[in-house]
């Protein structure tokens, strides 16, 4: 009778121990899987800021210059017409440039109609000068923005209190052999994120 | 020196308070105009001897309203049944026993008690069947009527018709119950007009608590430890991303821009002074693309082509993907009007981008440039956001994260194409340069965002 009771108690103990081990194993597996999912998410999140080497619109447009050296920029207006700028306007040049734009980004530049405009500087030239100005903010701390304006065919600089820094800017442009008419300065206050303390 | 608005301690009026005031003003204007509006539907009232009534308003009213003022006039002129202006702007005074002396007394009493601008020179006298005090007393007896008639929308005294007016949805269906109640309350059936009235929809605004969650609503993150302020931003496009459901907003809305800090987001709270209920927590940050100095052409700065993060909804959060709150004016929103996202693509120069931000509501502007690198030191220093869309529009602090979209009206009216999210600007509170991160870059950094309304694939 006693031995039967002892066997029953042992079985109960083994059952409890076994269940506990199973529970522990399941918990560890769960934690591992969650951690794996988190790591996967983090890996996705650290996706490089580039698609096939192209980071920005400007990277995309400058690659067109390899096919059409006269290319100076393009965009599709809201009515669906491709506006295209060339330093040496020609139908052939426009079509070559459009074909390359479509090859790189077929969705956005695939239009039937286009209008050709004359430009002084190629996009590649403006792009190089913009890159040259990559340290300008160290000289002019009020620099708020830098962009290539396609329709205006110049580099646009936003500077807070622009008038005060024009002399310095012009000297810097001269030092870097960037023509003054290739750069346009606009008064622009510092840009801030539009979150709000509340 | 770059101004730092956090350090400057700029204090802004809470948008909600401002709009509450505006609603109040609207209500007051409507009330002031009421007599004039009623005058258009004026009709002759029958001449019946007045019956006296006890004046009990001061015992029952919980504050002086306009009825109380007219009761005071009635106390001075016992036959007074009401006053209104006809379509010519002439003051009409209704009396149960019309006589010119009582009319003049009533006009003076109105000028003294109700409105100092009342012209007492030539009041026109009309017949009234009931005194105002009678109508007021009967109206007060109807306070419990909504329990018997749940579709009762409004109760008021129409002075031009010398009656109590009940606005009821499905009035014909409810007429028998109303008449039964009038009899029980000993209110003459002839003293009550029953008219059809649709349910009133309370106006709310984007800063209020709303469920389901839609793009355009106010979100806040908790105050930093020891800090007083929370950060207020706007819910951007709702999306499915890497199997998670949530929304996109501006990365600088979270505590650490460029790293996944699992920041919690609340709608609309938490308020700095109130412990927010746990169910107002709607999500936690799951993706926040890193900032890089190695891949940055601007020496000494950190760059990214996005200022966007992804917030995954808390389990059980009610949401409606593919919809953006469509406000009527400012941030007032009826809780149901929406823009529907049916496509997504980047914008180009000259196009119009619209946004619904929780601070400035529904505004639009022209795209000036689609690839601007801007240097920003606020809220986080040393960051350059590259190749952003620059528009010219009205926006302010608290609009960050708002979905930028183009109105396509395709296939239906108010259908839109998603273009990106609002991230900042250089003229807060006014019209000026406002920047958007493109949807293509958001997807390049965080993976495909499924943002369209049901029935559309994008």
pLDDT digit string, tens, across residues A29-44: 665 555 555 545 444 4
Phi and psi (nearest 5°) for A84? -130, 135
pTM flag (> 0.90): no
Best mutation target among B258, B276, B298 (most A Cβ atoms within 10 Å) is B298
Phi and psi (nearest 5°) for A118? -90, 140
Q: Which residue of A has its CA nearest to B429?
A: A194
Report which DSSP code applies to B329.
Answer: B
Please, what is the average pLDDT of chain B?
Answer: 82
Q: Nearest CA to CA, how far is A24 from chain B (Å)?
A: 26
Contacts of B6 in chain A (CB under 8 A): 197
- pLDDT-derived band at B433, boundaries 50, 70, 90: very high
d(CA B360, CA B162): 44
In the prediction, which pLDDT does B270 show?
67
Q: What is the 3-state secondary structure (H, E, C) of chain A?
A: CHHHHHHHHHHHHHHHHHHHHHHHHHHHHHHHHHHHHHHHHHHHHCCCCCECCECCHHHHHHHHCCCCCCEEEEEECCCCCEEEEECCCCHHHHHHHHHHHHHHCHHHHCCCCEEEEECCCCHHHHHHHHHHHHHHHHHCCCEEEEEEECCCCEEEEEECCHHHHHHHHHHHHHHCCCCHHHEEEEECCCEEECCEEC
Best mutation target among A83, A127, A184, A192 (most B Cβ atoms within 10 Å) is A192
pLDDT at A113 over 60: yes
Taking an 8 Å cut-off on Cβ atoms, the answer to whether A49 and B445 are in contact is yes
pLDDT at B330 over 90: no
- pLDDT-derived band at B55, boundaries 50, 70, 90: very low
pLDDT at A47 over 70: no
Contact A191/B at CB under 8 A: yes
A50 vs B317, which has greater pLDDT?
A: B317
In the prediction, which pLDDT does A106 show?
66
Residue with tokens 């009330």: B31
Taking an 8 Å cut-off on Cβ atoms, the answer to whether A77 and B351 are in contact is yes
- pLDDT-derived band at B121, boundaries 50, 70, 90: confident
pLDDT digit string, tens, across residues A115-128: 999 999 999 999 99
Phi and psi (nearest 5°) for B56? -120, 5
Strand partners, A74: A84
pLDDT digit string, tens, across residues B226-270: 665 578 999 999 999 999 999 999 999 998 999 999 999 999 876
Q: How many contacts (CB atoms, under 8 Å) link A and B? A: 199
Out of A112-116, B17-21, B44-48, the most confident range is A112-116
Task: Tell me if B322 sits within 8 A of B452, measured CB to CB.
Answer: yes
The ipTM estimated for the assembled molecules is: 0.78
- pLDDT-derived band at A5, boundaries 50, 70, 90: low
In the prediction, which pLDDT does B54 show?
28
d(CA B216, CA B199): 26
d(CA B409, CA B20): 32
Contact A114/B at CB under 8 A: no
Contacts of A151 in chain B (CB under 8 A): 349
pLDDT at B42 over 50: no
Tokens of B296: 């940055």
Picking from A75, A131, A191, the nearest residue to B376 by CB comes out as A191
- pLDDT-derived band at B27, boundaries 50, 70, 90: very low
pLDDT digit string, tens, across residues B282-324: 999 999 999 999 879 999 999 999 999 999 999 989 999 999 9
In the prediction, which pLDDT does B213 show?
97
Picking from A45, A135, A156, the nearest residue to B260 by CB comes out as A45
Picking from B289, B304, B400, the nearest residue to A193 by CB comes out as B400
Q: Which residue of A has its CA nearest to B287?
A: A45
B7 vs A40, which has greater pLDDT?
A: A40
Task: Give the angle subtended at the CA of B184 by the CAs of B180 and B190, to the nearest 5°.
Answer: 65
Q: Going along B120-257, which residue ranges are E strands?
A: 124-127, 152-158, 163-168, 192-196, 204-205, 213-215, 218-221, 231-234, 238-241, 244-249
In the prediction, which pLDDT does A198 show?
65
- Least Cα distance to A104 among B440, B78, B450 occurs for B440
Taking an 8 Å cut-off on Cβ atoms, the answer to whether A108 and B348 are in contact is yes
Picking from A148, A188, A198, the nearest residue to B220 by CB comes out as A198
Q: Rounded to whole angstroms, what are the CA distances from B443 to A184, B171, B391?
A: 32, 54, 21
Picking from A44, A56, A150, the nearest residue to B386 by CB comes out as A56
Q: Where are the alpha helices (DSSP H) in B84-212?
A: 100-113, 132-141, 145-148, 171-184
Taking an 8 Å cut-off on Cβ atoms, the answer to whether A135 and B14 are in contact is no
pLDDT digit string, tens, across residues B200-225: 655 689 999 899 999 999 999 887 66
């Amino acid at each position: 009778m006693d031995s039967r009771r002892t066997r029953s108690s042992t079985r109960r103990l083994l059952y409890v121990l076994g269940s506990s081990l199973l529970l522990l194993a399941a918990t560890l597996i769960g934690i591992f899987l969650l951690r794996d999912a988190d790591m996967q998410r983090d890996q996705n999140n650290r996706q490089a800021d580039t698609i096939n080497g192209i980071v920005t619109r400007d990277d995309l447009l400058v690659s067109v210059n390899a096919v059409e050296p006269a290319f100076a920029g393009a965009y599709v207006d809201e009515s669906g017409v491709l506006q295209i700028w060339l330093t040496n306007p020609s139908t052939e040049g426009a079509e070559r440039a459009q074909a390359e734009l479509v090859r790189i980004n077929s969705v956005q530049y695939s239009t039937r109609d286009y209008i050709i405009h004359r430009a002084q500087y190629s996009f590649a030239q403006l792009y190089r000068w913009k890159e040259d100005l990559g340290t300008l903010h160290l000289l002019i701390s009020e620099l708020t923005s830098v962009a290539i304006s396609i329709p205006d065919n110049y580099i646009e600089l936003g500077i807070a209190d622009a008038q005060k820094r024009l002399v310095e800017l012009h000297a810097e442009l001269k030092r870097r052999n960037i023509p003054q008419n290739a750069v346009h300065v606009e008064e622009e206050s510092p840009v801030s994120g539009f979150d709000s303390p509340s | 020196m770059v101004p730092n608005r956090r350090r400057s301690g700029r204090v802004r009026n809470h948008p909600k308070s401002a709009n509450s005031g505006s609603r109040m003003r609207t209500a007051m204007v409507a009330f002031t105009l009421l007599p004039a509006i009623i005058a258009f539907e004026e009709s002759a009232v029958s001449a019946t001897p007045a019956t006296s009534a006890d004046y009990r308003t001061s015992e029952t009213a919980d504050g002086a309203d306009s009825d109380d003022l007219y009761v005071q006039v009635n106390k001075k002129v016992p036959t007074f049944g009401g006053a209104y202006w006809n379509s010519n702007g002439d003051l009409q005074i209704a009396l149960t026993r019309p006589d010119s002396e009582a009319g003049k007394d009533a006009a003076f009493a109105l000028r003294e008690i109700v409105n100092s601008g009342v012209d007492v020179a030539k009041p026109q006298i009309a017949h009234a069947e009931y005194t105002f005090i009678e109508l007021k007393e009967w109206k007060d007896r109807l306070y419990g009527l909504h329990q018997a008639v749940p579709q009762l929308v409004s109760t008021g005294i129409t002075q031009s018709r010398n009656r109590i007016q009940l606005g009821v949805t499905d009035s014909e269906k409810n007429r028998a119950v109303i008449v039964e109640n009038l009899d029980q309350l000993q209110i003459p059936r002839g003293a009550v007009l029953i008219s059809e009235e649709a349910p009133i929809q309370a106006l709310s605004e984007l800063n209020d608590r709303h469920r389901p969650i839609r793009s355009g609503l106010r979100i806040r993150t908790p105050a930093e430890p020891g800090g007083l302020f929370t950060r207020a931003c706007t819910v951007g496009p709702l999306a499915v991303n890497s199997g998670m459901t949530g929304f996109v907003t501006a990365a600088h809305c979270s505590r650490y821009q460029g790293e996944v800090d699992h920041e919690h987001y609340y709608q609309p709270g938490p308020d700095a002074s109130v412990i927010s209920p746990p169910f107002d927590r709607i999500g936690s940050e799951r993706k926040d693309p890193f900032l890089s100095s190695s891949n940055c052409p601007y020496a000494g700065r950190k760059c990214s082509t996005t200022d966007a993060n992804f917030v995954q909804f808390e389990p059980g959060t009610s949401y409606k993907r593919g919809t953006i709150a469509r406000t009527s004016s400012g941030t007032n929103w009826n809780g149901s009007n929406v823009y529907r996202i049916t496509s997504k693509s980047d914008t180009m120069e000259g196009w119009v981008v619209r946004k619904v931000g929780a601070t400035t509501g529904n505004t639009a502007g022209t795209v000036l440039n689609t690839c601007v690198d801007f240097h920003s030191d606020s809220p986080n220093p040393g960051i350059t956001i590259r190749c952003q869309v620059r528009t010219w529009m009205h926006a302010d602090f608290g609009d960050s994260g708002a979905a930028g979209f183009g109105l396509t009206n395709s296939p239906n009216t108010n259908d839109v194409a998603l273009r990106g999210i609002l991230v900042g600007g250089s003229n807060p509170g006014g019209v000026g340069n406002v920047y958007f991160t493109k949807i293509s870059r958001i997807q390049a950094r965080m993976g495909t965002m499924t943002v369209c309304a049901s029935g559309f694939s994008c």
